[in-house]
Amino acid sequence: MTDFTYDLGADGVAIITWDVPNKSMNVMSLEGFALLDSFIDRALADEACKGVVITSAKKDFAGGMDLNVIAQMRAGGAEAIFNGVMQMHAVLRKIERAGMDPKTLKGGKPIAAALPGTALGIGLELPLSCHRIFAAPNEKAKIGLPEIMVGIFPGAGGTTRLVRKMGAMVAAPFLLEGKLSAPKAAKAAGIVDELAEDPVAAARAWVLEAKDADLVKPWDAKGYKMPGGAPYHPAGFMTFVGASAMVHGKTMGVYPAAKALLSAVYEGALVPFDQALRIEARWFTSVLMNPSSTAMIRSLFINKEALEKGANRPKVADQTVSKVGILGAGMMGAGIAYVAANAGIEVVLIDASIEAAERGKAYSAGILDKGIARKKVTEEKKAEVLGRITAATDYATLAGCDLIVEAVFEDPKVKAEVTQRAEAVIPTGAVFATNTSTLPISMLAKASVRPEQFIGIHFFSPVDKMMLVEIIKGEKTGDVAVAKALDFVRQIRKTPIVVNDARFFYANRCIIPYINEGIRMVAEGVSPTLIENAAKLVGMPLGPLQLVDETSIDLGVKIAKATKAAMGEAYPDAAVDEVIFWMADQGRLGRKNGAGFYTYDAAGKRGDFWDGLAAHYPQASAQPELHEVQHRLLMAQVLEAVRAFEAGVLEDIREGDVGAILGWGFAPWSGGPFAWLDILGAARAVEICDDLTARFGPRFEAPALLRDIAAKGDGFYARFGGGQSAKAA
């Protein structure tokens, strides 16, 4: 075990260096923590040691707790978690008190933290327990407590210490939003104490000079008052009442970690420091015991990272892209050009006219200018990125491209033509990808002379913001094309899922039934307010009616017509069409023309529901229960995900869950559709499906796989959590 080393210098300063073997970033394990503890004991006991500097041998300090450890802790149950956390508190508190006399507060040994770079989670909680934090002014470094992003909160004293250091109001964005800062900003906020080019040297010098009073934390000194006021102080009162309302408004109460964090802060502020740590530990335990945190950590951290690292990548040679050709410089093509050029890839951006191609390139300039205005991008960086994009009309400029991404009109004839023109000039080893959202990949591949090198790479709009990329294998798509697509997605730092070719692939297949279920309810006379609020109260970012307004009602009409043409008699959505075709006839096409299910003012701001809707679809006097509306809206998506998995369109439930959260914002607290079914329990899910089927029709019938899992008392993750496909099982 060599996660930490201890080196006592001739000057009496012990340097404890964090350097986890075989990892590029330090993460804390239980063994690592025990070793650190033993070194602190050694330093405090050794008379030759005057003080300690804790640092890292890597370019960063630490990325946080090893989340697999959290999973292990959870396996021991609530008592084990609580005891484990209290043990951590004891070690960090030992660092903070550093052997001083608890009454006189004298005689402690100075302990400083020296951060060369990024310090996240426990990687900041440990420094916060030290007496002074020195950070290198490394602009790439990120400092903060991002725990809330994966459904937990800082539970190793970070919550209690930050609030006592800066006050609840100032600490709020760092704790509640997981805000990360570069060292300069962290210093300005008061999280770190000093910036130093050589933080170890600066920390060492400080340790040698530190006086007793320098080691006493404000909360351990007599007469401590919390900055901004504790809950019953008039200013504090405003803060705490306001924070509770704000958090509830933002989270709709579905994130247990946000509520628990607030409770730990509020209750902790009323009691002495050591008791506050106990309270923090209790709330942290309750969050870890909540299935939502397990599911969020699994999907948003462990499995997301596994997919990004190529969990489902075929074992073929590296396929890093050096030059990408993008056909069509419209909304999608322009966005794809930006993310590729920004990742250092050469881009040729083709459109039918040079004006259109240049307009596509100008889109990148626009994003970069916004970055410059926010001081996130430099003029040099802008010039560099734009320098990588060649806007053109001549297909000959595609020579040398090892990947093509086609984003022309959604028309098979246009797509076939550009496929042939591009393939005539690109190298024979190049891969051709289409960004189609609705056309079958295998059908489009017929235009290709190399169908094994033809694939779908489906981006979501807006491309620069949406983190998911859906990779679609056609019937003939080979491993090299899949690897190429995955390597491209890795280069542009997005998260991939790989699915098979079927109508609407995965994400759109699940989101369309959600929208449709909302629209059906309008026709049934369910209050639109109830529909939208039910969705938001279960953690969906947008209600179905707002979502269709955003994506546009005429797009809905177009998709409905195409689907009906393909399905014929089996088409199940006539009730939905009645509403959206009527809306389109009324000229209500959604936000883009300022008129949809909602009204919009001249500036495009969304107002109330359009009153013509209630006139045409009067609200029923008896309204359904909130839960029933929520079950309909969730099951519409979730059952489609299960069917996609059962049919082998989706080959891995991890992709299904990660893809759902990143692709369409499926209730992140749940960890995704499969995780939600596991939380609910398959037996209860089948019960809900049977009830909904009896009352609303066969679209809610429980798939055989769900029934089987329910009958055997099994779970999706218990059976398929290692990436097993339903087809293979």
Quick one: 203 or 644, whose CB is closer to ligand NAD? Answer: 644
Question: By CB under 6 A, is residue 410 in contact with ligand NAD?
Answer: yes
Which one among 436, 477, 495, 670 touches ligand NAD, defined by CB under 6 A? 436
**Interface pattern 694-723 for ligand NAD (x via CB under 6 A):** ------------------------------
Closest approach, Cβ 481 to ligand NAD, in A, equals 18
Q: Quick count: other Cβ atoms within 10 Å of Cβ 694? A: 9
Question: By CB under 6 A, is residue 507 in contact with ligand NAD?
Answer: no
Tell me the β-bridge partners of 54: 16, 113
**Rounded CA gap, 660 and 495, in Å?**
12
CA nearest neighbour of 439 among 256, 611, 563: 563
Catalytic residues: 437, 458, 470, 508
Question: By CB under 6 A, is residue 549 in contact with ligand NAD?
Answer: no
* Residue whose beta carbon is closest to ligand NAD: 330
**Rounded CA gap, 464 and 483, in Å?**
22
Residues between 613 and 672 that touch ligand NAD (CB under 6 A): none
Question: By CB under 6 A, is residue 98 in contact with ligand NAD?
Answer: no
Which one among 409, 524, 567, 713 touches ligand NAD, defined by CB under 6 A? 409
Phi-psi region of 456 (alpha: psi -120 to 50; beta: other; left: phi over 0): beta
Closest approach, Cβ 665 to ligand NAD, in A, equals 15
Which one among 18, 153, 219, 459 touches ligand NAD, defined by CB under 6 A? 459
Burial class (CB in 10 A: 0-12, 13-18, 19+), 212: middle
Tell me the torsion sign for CA atoms 262, 133, 195, 26: negative
Distances (CA, A) of 175 to 81, 152, 229, 303: 21, 10, 18, 24
Tell me the torsion sign for CA atoms 338, 344, 350, 353: positive
Which one among 113, 115, 356, 430 touches ligand NAD, defined by CB under 6 A? 356
Quick one: 329 or 347, whose CB is closer to ligand NAD? Answer: 329
Question: By CB under 6 A, is residue 332 in contact with ligand NAD?
Answer: yes
Question: By CB under 6 A, is residue 426 in contact with ligand NAD?
Answer: no
User: What is the chain's alpha carbon radius of gyration, rounded to the nearest angstrom?
Assistant: 28
Closest approach, Cβ 406 to ligand NAD, in A, equals 8
Question: By CB under 6 A, is residue 526 in contact with ligand NAD?
Answer: no
Question: By CB under 6 A, is residue 418 in contact with ligand NAD?
Answer: yes
Which amino acid type is present at position 694?
A: A
Q: Which two tokens stand for residue 655?
A: 């992709």
Q: Quick count: other Cβ atoms within 10 Å of Cβ 139? A: 8
Please report where in the chains the tokens 């964005």 appear, as a residue. 173
User: Angle at CA 469, nearest 5°, toward 337 and 177?
Assistant: 100
Question: By CB under 6 A, is residue 442 in contact with ligand NAD?
Answer: no
Quick one: 353 or 725, whose CB is closer to ligand NAD? Answer: 353
**Rounded CA gap, 375 and 184, in Å?**
14
Closest approach, Cβ 366 to ligand NAD, in A, equals 15
Question: By CB under 6 A, is residue 435 in contact with ligand NAD?
Answer: yes
Which one among 205, 306, 365, 414 touches ligand NAD, defined by CB under 6 A? 414
Scanning 79-87, 123-131, 402-410, 676-684 for contacts with ligand NAD by CB under 6 A, the matching segment is 402-410
Which one among 330, 525, 572, 612 touches ligand NAD, defined by CB under 6 A? 330
3-state SS of 663-682 is HHCCCHHHCCHHHHHHHHCH
Chain-centroid distance of CA 136 in Å reads 28
Quick one: 40 or 463, whose CB is closer to ligand NAD? Answer: 463
Closest approach, Cβ 691 to ligand NAD, in A, equals 35
Quick one: 106 or 561, whose CB is closer to ligand NAD? Answer: 561
Question: By CB under 6 A, is residue 440 in contact with ligand NAD?
Answer: no
Cβ-proximal residues to 162 (8 Å cutoff; 6+ apart), any chain: 128, 145, 154, 171, 174, 175, 191
Question: By CB under 6 A, is residue 5 in contact with ligand NAD?
Answer: no
Question: By CB under 6 A, is residue 329 in contact with ligand NAD?
Answer: yes
Question: By CB under 6 A, is residue 571 in contact with ligand NAD?
Answer: no
Closest approach, Cβ 559 to ligand NAD, in A, equals 10
Count of residues in the chain:
729
Scanning 126-134, 143-151, 192-200, 327-335 for contacts with ligand NAD by CB under 6 A, the matching segment is 327-335
H-helix or E-strand spanning residue 31: helix 30-45
Question: By CB under 6 A, is residue 364 in contact with ligand NAD?
Answer: no
Burial class (CB in 10 A: 0-12, 13-18, 19+), 209: exposed
DSSP secondary-structure letter at 350?
E
Which amino acid type is present at position 183?
A: P
Closest approach, Cβ 545 to ligand NAD, in A, equals 19
Chain contacts with ligand NAD (rule: CB under 6 A):
327-333, 350-352, 356, 407-410, 414, 418, 435-437, 458-459, 461
